[in-house]
Structures are given as structure tokens and as C-alpha cells.
Amino acid sequence: MSVNNSLIRLEGVKKIFYTDEIETHALSGVHVEIGKGEFVSIAGPSGCGKSTLLAILGLLDTPTAGDYLLGGKTVSDLKPAERARIRNREIGFIFQSFNLIGDLNVFENVELPLTYRGMKASERRERVEEALEKVGMAHRARHLPSQLSGGQQQRVAVARAVAGDPLILLADEPTGNLDSANGEAVIQLLSELHTQGATICMVTHDGRYARFAERTIHLFDGRVVEEKAKVA
Amino acid sequence: MENILKDIRYAVRMLARNPGFSLIAVLALALGIGANSAIFSVVNAVLLNPLPYREPDRLAMIYHKYPDINLMDASLSPPSYVEYRDMTASFERVAVGAGWGVNLTGAGEPERLQGARLSASFLSTLGVEPALGRNFIPEEEQPGKNNVVILSHGLWQRQFGGDQGILGKTITLDGNGYEVVGVMPPGFSFFREVDIWSPVAFTPEQLAADNHGNENLLGIARLKQGVSLAQAQSEMDSLADQLRQQFYRNTNWGISLVGMREQLVGDIQPALLILLAAVGCVLLIACANVANLLLARAASRQKEISIRAALGATRLRVIRQLLTESLLLAALGGVIGLALAYGGVKLLIAGIPPDIAQFIPGWKSIGIDSRVLLFTLAASMLTGIIFGVIPAIKTSKADLNETLKEGGRGAASGSRSHALLNLFVVAEVAISLVLLIGAGLLVRSFINLQEVKPGFNPQGVLTMQMSLPQSKYRERFQQAAFFDEALRKISSLPGVQSAGVVDNVPMGGNNSQASFMIEGLEIAPGQSSPHGDRHLASPDYFKAIGISLIRGRFFSHQDTADSLPVAIIDETLAERYWPGEDPIGKRMGAFFDRVDGKVRIREIVGVVSHVKQYGLDGTSRVQYYFPVAQRPQSAMFLVVRTSSEPSSMVASVRSAIQSIDSDQPIFSVKTMEAIVSGSMAQKRFATFLLGIFAIVAMLLASIGIYGVMSYSVSQRTHEIGIRMALGASAQDVLRLIVGRGMLLAVTGVVLGLVAAFWATSVMSSLLFGVTATDVTTFIAIPMALAAVASVASYLPARRATRVDPMAALRCE
């Protein structure tokens, strides 16, 4: 499927894991394109390669073969430091298990990627406050993650992901560890961010949340088996 | 800067969150850093600080040497002093000095003073000036004009209350008046603590050419600017060739120059450097332990590090954060270590008796100065980097995708982490084995030393020194009469078994050697006359100190100034010059013992046991004794054997002396056991310190093995559960875990043995009666270490056998 204004483009991406003498093909020649401002969900049964695909998109992992273009530039064979720089500036992550740092408070967690960017303290503060405001967590800025509910932790994780104003938000089962009410709230939040112009790619196997995306890519056995756009 | 502060703040938070880990790590580091700083403070004061003399590298000692009798540090004679002063071009100045003991009276309590007679240029050769008053002038080197003194700062304060008007005043020494012309600055000493200095004055007879054999002066020289020690030695060798022809025709006599630093610290340097290397090893082991703790902790921090990386932290940035934590740990360890070093330095100073420490230059200035602080800072920072860098690199290398997954295990449990943990443990075992073997060799040496028979019985013996003033006891018969009377009174005291006098007690630090002749023994051209330790002793000295009679008789009260001159020799002299013969009745004489210019021939009347005069491990020379009645002298040691505690007799002995002469002080009161013990103090202390360091090293290594095995067991709980579910017995599990621990220990032991073979070769000079590759030590210590390692592995292994297979499997 061709996408106008392409932000992400995967061409023939393969990922093979080697364990002892066994090869496991997690992805087998995947072609994916995501346009700027799109909200795409990746769905499929457990073990189909969803998370591997998201890890490659997030430059947390490298493809065994194939090309990955982000913003028109090939990023599949960059050096670790350059990959770290892109992760910091162009990509925002939201994980299923929130992955907040327990020893940092909410403000510091959200501030962390901006610190790595070398941003001035005053600008950091402004951005963090804005991001926390956006997710409705400004009032808990000085709390530690352990003092928050799961839903609140995930909202903080969303704030951390958007604070750096990335090109794309990658969310891996963002509702997986939440009850339905909190899950719904997080999806609503992502939806609002999308409405404000954010590009989002979300892995989920929950049909209720996949419907919030404009397009759903179905994976099976490491291949894209179906792409379905949402009917307006 | 802001980011660094953030890193530090986070590091503080991390350490506070793991108080157990932080405490163990900080304590281990504090112990290592503290021990290093304490030993370094000694090295700094003794070896690194410049000697307290102007341009000390230009200072040298001048010795006469007699290679064929292995006497390489003989003193100078008055005529040789004049020759070296006037006939050499390499020296800016040459000076001599000699010991001088005097009784100070008329200034309160009579006090025995340790002094020195110096040539006028002595202090200026050293490059030191009196703090008050002036130096000696050449005119004062003449007899009759040398009744001037310079006081030590200590004596000035102690006896004269720091009187600013002391200059020009006359003080009474041995009954004679001396004008005070100067006061030395505080802390000045040369070789040993001295209270007072006066110019040496030579008579024409003393400076005569035939007085070359009267060698009793300590010679020093200041090299001219730009002249090296080797160049000066070469000139002295040429001069020696000339002088040998004229004055030392029958010997292979020579002159040797020894650099002042080499002279002053040469003996203690190897022991200090070995101790510094040992504490360095302890610190390395502490580093390895903390690194292992960090590596084990890395497993629980993988997720945090991965999150940071996922959010864009570069690897360098993560390493920086982790290193900040390590450096903070090291800094805390450094602060506590410095406090430990402060206490350690006090212990070190207390560990060496003052009468031995006074010969160690810089001993008084040992303390925590800016250089020690800088060393501690550098050691702390280096330590932080050493133990932090590998775990930081390892931890920062996370598999992001795997770690960030829900339930991801993280990379630290991988085989590479284990390899690193294992490597550190192997290194710890190897290093601690080197230390243990070193300490083992020293302990064996010390045991051997204690088993050495000194040739006398020090138990129950009291010694003290007396020096009769020339003004009151000018004639030799007066001196002899005083000591006779004193011994008669002391011998009759209740509790005294026997009492005698001798010129030098064994191991007391004062020794006299002299060349001698044996009737009928021809000396080949180019060979020196026999040389040995000479003693003047009273009849009961031998009984009092416990020297056994092997043949013949001891001196008796019939051996008087008017009777047949007699001598007693020791068994080594008898064996060397009359092997297989009876030496009783043979005749000998000593060159210092002349009547009308001729050597007095004496008949040998007894053979006694050989005495370890220079310490239990000291060089041995042949020994001979003359009756003090036949050659009295004013300064003697009183030796009293008591049936009760010797120290309890001091008061009654003192009052016996004062009943003869109330002005006569006694000094250097010590038991013979204390003298023997003091002679071993330096070795005992080095052995004790190295032993402590080795035990700490072994404990740290054991903790390391225990830690790694515990961590391994916690990581393999699931695997152990499976094994047990499949039928493995507790014994199987025990074997599995202990086997792995022992593999590490044995690998470390093998590497340690190789290192120890090399390392112990440098400590040969500290060993006694044991070789640097002593087989017993090289077998026993590794076995002991392996036993400790097996216990350290057994404890976690026993825990592993208690794993509930179902619980372990459910964990997955």
C-alpha cells in the first residue's frame, strides 16, 4: 500500500534469531509504510512478530536484511551512537510495562530524554510541564512511579514519549497492563495526540483499541497478511 | 556541569536505595584505600620526602673497606680524615664525627646526654645551621679550644626552658665547663637522636701517620657541584691505591662512598616497598570484589539502563552515569579510608620502638600531609575507575529489545557476565595467594629467627649504662675500682644472682670491632689481619648474661692489671684459627691493646659460646674478650641477673651505685629480653603487617567466591529446580556448585603460584632460614586457601540443595 507523505518505509525487512543451531524467522520480508500524521496499529496473534517489528521501527533492534527509511533516510545500518541520537530526537516510546525509572520522580522521568538531548534546563522544564499538562499528570510531578496507579504511570510514559516532540510515537501494547477503564483512557489520550498531529504506530492484539487507528496492519508468521484502512 | 550534578544526585539516590550494597562496597574500599594511605604516608615520609639537609643528593658517607674480612663499612681514622679533606678534588667539604657520651650536671637533675664530637665543618657539610647562635669554627678543632657546645632543641627546652639568653653561658659536662655557642633547630638529627655537639679536636699524635689503624670516625662528604658519586668514587679508588702502598701495605683495603639516601633508607626501603605492593594488592582485591558486586547488581539494573538507552542515552552517557556512581562509592571509601589511615599511621608509629625508630629518617614526620591527601584522592579516583569501568561497559551493553519486553531477563545473566565475575574471582584468589605466600615466608622466617640460639640467656637479666666522668675518674685504676665496688655492692643485693660489666651488650646497637693477631699465624701479603668483635668484660659478666663456658675458665678476680694478660675467645674464633686443636694456652693480641706501643700478648684461658651480637639474623664475626681489670674504661654496661622480675631491681641497683657516687647517673635501663625483642621489632612489625594484609586479602577473596557462588545459585535456581525435578540428589547439586567454585579457586591458585614464584624473589633480603621458593610454604598455603575457598563455595551450594523444585519451576 502506497502512502502519501511517507515517514517510515520498511522494504523487505527480515529478522532472524539464531539460538544455538536453530534459526527463528521473526520477520520474513516485511514491507510497511507509515505516513506522517497517521495512526497505524499492528495486530496479529502472539509470536507473529509484532514486537520485533516495533523494535526495528524504534531502532532498538536491527533487521537481518532489508531497508528501513525514516524520514527518507536509511537508518538500518547506522552506528549505535547515531541510532541513540535518532531514538532520542525522532522516536517516542510507550511500553506495555511503562518502563519508568523507579528512582526518578515523574518530572525527572519525563525530563530524562530531554536531558540526553542536551537541552537547556529552562526549556526542559517548559516542555515537561507542557507534556504533563497534556496527559493530566502535572499535579503528580514530584511523585515517584511507585506512588502512581498503572494508568497514571502509563500517562506519564506517554508524556515522556511526547515531551521531545518526536516524529513518531511507537506504542507496544500500551494498554496491556491496564484495566479496561485505564486502557480506554490511554487510548483516548493517544487518539487526542493523533488529532493534534502526532504520528502513532501501536502494537495491540486487542480489537477494541485497534479500531482507534486509521489503518491496521495484520501480521502472521512474520509476514504482513492484511492491511485494512478504517472506514470513515 | 548541570548534567554531572544530576548524575551525582542520581548516584547518591541509588546508593541510598541500596544501603547494604553501598555499605559493603564502601567498607571494602575504605579498608583498601586506608591501608594504602597509611603505608604510603610512611613511604612518603621515609623514602619520598627530601632528607632534611641542603641538596642531600650531593652528600655521601665515606667508609673504609676490608673485603677479605667482609668488613665494608669501617670508620675513618684521624689521619685519613685529613688526607681526604686535603688531597681530593671531588668534594666541596669533608667532615667527621664520633659518638660522645657526657653527664650534664649543675642544671637540675644530673642527666646522661647522648652527644657527638664533630669536625667544625660537619654541620655546614650537611647544610644545616643552628637556629640560635653559630656553627663551630675551624679554630675550635684544637685541643683546649674545643670546650664549646651546640645544644639540640630538645635539650635546650628540657634542661634550660628554652632560655633565649643561653648563648655564651657555661654548662658543666663531666665536670668540665663548656660554653654554649648555638642551639639547633627542632627536629634536626643525623643517624640518631643526639642532645649535644662539640668540636672534635685531634692531637698531633692522633693525626700522625702511624695512627691510620685507629678507625673510629664517621666520615661524610659533600660532592662538588656537578661531580657524580661515581666520579668521586673513582678519585677515591686512585687515592686508595696510593695510600695502600704507604699505610695499608698488607691488605686489600679500600675506600667506599655511599650516597646519603642509600645509607639512611637502604635497609628499610625493600620492606616498605613490599608492604606498599601488598596493600596495593589488597586494594586490587577490594576493587575486584566491588566490581563483582556491581556486575551482580547490573542484572537488576538492566531494565533501567535499557530504558535510558531507548530514550536516547548513548552508551558513553550511560557509562558516565555508572562511573559517577562508582566514583562516588570510591570517594566515600576514600574519606573513610583517610580516617582509617589516620588511625593506622598512629598504630604504625606505635609499632616500632622509639630507640629503633630514631634510626629511620623521616620517622618523626610520618603523618597525613598534602602529598598523602593527594595520593588518597588519586587512589580513590583510580579505584573508582578500576572497579567501575568494566561493570559500566558491560551494563551499558544491554539487549534493548529483550530487556524492555515484559519479563525480559536482561543481559547480565548471560554467560559473558559470568565470565567476567569468574575472571575477577580468579584474579582475587591469585593475588591473595601471592600475599599469603609472602606472609607465610615471613612468618616462617620469624619463627626460624625466634629459634635461633642467641648464645646467651636473656631471661631475668637487667642492663643499664654508666659512663664515669673523666674529671672525677681520670685514671684507669679509678675506673676499675669504681666498677669493682659497684659490682660488689650489686652482687650482694637480695634477688641478684650475678652481676658483671661489659663494654657492649649483645644486640644493643653499640659494637666494637678490632683487628687482632695470633701468635704464629702468618699474614700473606695483600691479606688483612684477623678482625672480630672485641669485648672488655668483668669476671661475672659471662654468668650474668648466661654465656656458656665450652672449655677452660671464665675470667677471675685474680686476673688483675698486674697479673698475666689473658683472653677468652668464642667457639667460632677457636674453630677458625685452631680447628681440631685446643686453643687454651695459645696466645693472641689485639692491635688496640698496646703497652708502650707494642701489642700486648695474652694467653687464651677460656672458650665460650658464640653470641649473636648484631641480632638473631645479624652478621656474625669471631669474638674475643679481655678482662676489664686489665684494660679498664669509663663507659660500661652493667649486666645483672636476677631471681625476680629484673625491672623490679632498678631502684635498688640505682641506690647501690649512688651509695658509691651520688652524682653518677645510670641510663638506658632495659631488660635483656627487651633488647632482644627490640632487635626483631622491625621484622616482627613487617611480618605482622604483611600477615594482616594477607588475611584481609584472603577474606576478601573468600567473600568474592561466596558472592559469585551465591549469585550463580540465585541465577540458576530454575535450572537447579529442573535438575532436581529430573532426579538430581542434594549431593549432585552440591558437587555442581562446589565444583564450580573450586574450579575458580584452583585456577586462581595456579596463576597465583606462578606470580608468587616471581614476586617472592624480591623479598629474599627479608627472609631468614627459608628460601623464597620454600616448598612447604608453596604447598601448605595454596592448600589452606583452597580449603577456605571450598567453604566459601559450600555455603551457597548448601542453599542450592534446599531449592524446592516446584517453586523454582513456577518462578519461570
Chain A residues touching B315 at Cβ < 8 A: 80-81, 84
Inter-chain residue contact B312 with A93, CB threshold 8 Å: no
Inter-chain residue contact A99 with B10, CB threshold 8 Å: no
pLDDT of A81 strictly over 60: yes
Tens digit of each residue's pLDDT (9 = 90 or more) over B560-588: 989 999 999 999 999 999 999 999 999 99
Chain B residues touching A19 at Cβ < 8 A: none
Chain A residues touching B405 at Cβ < 8 A: 51
Lowest mean pLDDT among A114-118, B402-406, B407-411, B656-660: B407-411
Taking a C-beta distance cutoff of 8 angstroms, is the pair B479, B633 a contact?
Answer: yes
In Å, how far is A122's CA from the nearest CA of chain B? 12
Higher pLDDT, B209 or B604: B604
- Please state the rounded mean pLDDT for residues B370-385: 90
User: What pLDDT, on a 0 to 100 scale, did the predictor assign at position B414?
Assistant: 47
DSSP 8-state symbol, B530: P
User: What pLDDT, on a 0 to 100 scale, did the predictor assign at position B411?
Assistant: 32
Fold of A36-62+76-229: Rossmann fold (3.40.50)
Any A CB within 8 A of B415 CB: no
Inter-chain residue contact A113 with B312, CB threshold 8 Å: yes
> Which of A89, A93, A115 is the closest to B6 by Cβ?
A115
Measured between CA atoms, the residue of chain B closest to residue A161 is: B311
- Please state the rounded mean pLDDT for residues B357-377: 83
Which of A20, A61, A99 best tests the B interface by mutation, with the highest count of B CBs <10 A?
A99
For B611, half-sphere exposure in the C-beta direction (CA atoms, 13 angstrom radius) is: 30
Chain A residues touching B307 at Cβ < 8 A: 99-101
pLDDT grade for B413, boundaries at 50, 70 and 90: very low
Inter-chain residue contact B312 with A177, CB threshold 8 Å: no
Element (H, E) at B372: helix B370-396
Element (H, E) at B692: helix B681-715
pLDDT of B250 strictly over 60: no
- Contacts of B393-397 with CB under 8 Å at 24 or more apart are B393/B319, B394/B295, B394/B298, B394/B420, B395/B294, B395/B295, B395/B298, B395/B301, B395/B302, B395/B305, B395/B318, B395/B322, B396/B305, B396/B309, B396/B315, B396/B318, B396/B319, B396/B322, B397/B315
Higher pLDDT, B603 or B352: B603
Chain B residues touching A55 at Cβ < 8 A: 400-401
List, as ranges, residues 296-355 from B with C-beta within 8 Å of A.
303-304, 306-317
Tens digit of each residue's pLDDT (9 = 90 or more) over B191-246: 778 899 999 998 888 888 878 877 889 999 999 999 999 999 999 999 998 888 77
> Which of A84, A95, A102 is the closest to B312 by Cβ?
A84
Inter-chain residue contact B312 with A81, CB threshold 8 Å: no
Reported pTM: 0.73
CA-to-CA separations, B627 to A169, B108, B473, B535, B558, in angstroms, rounded = 106, 36, 19, 8, 10
pLDDT grade for B409, boundaries at 50, 70 and 90: very low
CA-to-CA separations, B245 to B361, B428, B582, in angstroms, rounded = 38, 62, 37
Any A CB within 8 A of B14 CB: yes
In Å, how far is A198's CA from the nearest CA of chain B? 18
Which of A103, A107, A169, A205 best tests the B interface by mutation, with the highest count of B CBs <10 A?
A103
Element (H, E) at B170: strand B170-173
pLDDT of B108 strictly over 80: no
pLDDT of B453 strictly over 60: yes
Inter-chain residue contact B404 with A99, CB threshold 8 Å: yes
pLDDT of B290 strictly over 70: yes
Neighbours of B711 (CB within 10 A): 22
Q: What is the mean pLDDT of chain A?
A: 88
Please give the Cα distance from B293 to B303 (Å, whole number): 17
B791 conformational bin, left if phi > 0, alpha if psi -120 to 50, beta if neither = alpha
Inter-chain residue contact B310 with A160, CB threshold 8 Å: no
Higher pLDDT, B61 or B358: B61
Higher pLDDT, B501 or B412: B501
User: What pLDDT, on a 0 to 100 scale, did the predictor assign at position B726?
Assistant: 65
- Please state the rounded mean pLDDT for residues A140-162: 91
Q: Mapping DSSP to helix (H, G, I), strand (E, B) and coil, where does residue B772 land?
A: coil
Inter-chain residue contact A103 with B10, CB threshold 8 Å: yes
- Please state the rounded mean pLDDT for residues B107-119: 82
- Please state the rounded mean pLDDT for residues B670-679: 88
- CB within 8 A of B226, min separation 6: which ones? none
Measured between CA atoms, the residue of chain A closest to residue B396 is: A80
Chain B residues touching A113 at Cβ < 8 A: 311-312
In Å, how far is A72's CA from the nearest CA of chain B? 20
Measured between CA atoms, the residue of chain B closest to residue A86 is: B312
Chain B residues touching A116 at Cβ < 8 A: 308, 311-314, 317
Tens digit of each residue's pLDDT (9 = 90 or more) over B416-435: 567 878 888 899 889 989 98
In Å, how far is A212's CA from the nearest CA of chain B? 24
Chain B residues touching A16 at Cβ < 8 A: none
Can you read off the three cell numbers belonging to residue B340?
A: 582509617
Neighbours of B317 (CB within 10 A): 20
Tens digit of each residue's pLDDT (9 = 90 or more) over B164-190: 999 999 999 888 899 999 999 988 888
Q: What are the beta bridge partners of residue A9?
A: A33, A69
Inter-chain residue contact A84 with B314, CB threshold 8 Å: yes
Domain locations in chain A? Answer: 36-62+76-229
> Which of B6, B315, B401 is the closest to A55 by Cβ?
B401
pLDDT grade for B412, boundaries at 50, 70 and 90: very low
Inter-chain residue contact A160 with B405, CB threshold 8 Å: no
Please give the Cα distance from B245 to B165 (Å, whole number): 53
> Which of A85, A96, A118 is the closest to B406 by Cβ?
A96
Torsion of CA B675, B680, B681, B683, to 10 degrees: 170
Can you read off the three cell numbers belonging to residue A162?
A: 511526547
Q: What is the mean pLDDT of chain B?
A: 86
pLDDT of B622 strictly over 90: yes
Any A CB within 8 A of B17 CB: yes
Inter-chain residue contact A102 with B304, CB threshold 8 Å: yes
Which of B8, B304, B306, B311 best tests the A interface by mutation, with the highest count of A CBs <10 A?
B311
pLDDT of B599 strictly over 90: no
Inter-chain residue contact B404 with A52, CB threshold 8 Å: no
Chain B residues touching A58 at Cβ < 8 A: 310
In Å, how far is A35's CA from the nearest CA of chain B? 23
Taking a C-beta distance cutoff of 8 angstroms, is the pair B136, B123 a contact?
Answer: yes
Tens digit of each residue's pLDDT (9 = 90 or more) over B624-665: 999 999 988 888 999 999 998 998 999 999 999 989 988 788
Lowest mean pLDDT among A126-130, A171-175, B132-136: A171-175
pLDDT of B725 strictly over 80: no
Which residues of A fall below an 8 Å CB-CB distance to B? Answer: 51-52, 55, 58, 60-61, 80-81, 84-85, 87-89, 93, 95-97, 99-104, 112-113, 115-118, 121, 160, 164, 176-177
Taking a C-beta distance cutoff of 8 angstroms, is the pair B14, B324 a contact?
Answer: no
Please choose, from the candidates B161, B137, B142, the residue with its C-alpha nearest in 3D space to the C-alpha of residue B150.
Answer: B137
Which of A112, A125, A127, A162 best tests the B interface by mutation, with the highest count of B CBs <10 A?
A112
> Which of A51, A80, A101 is the closest to B405 by Cβ?
A51
In Å, how far is A85's CA from the nearest CA of chain B? 6
User: What pLDDT, on a 0 to 100 scale, did the predictor assign at position B722?
Assistant: 67
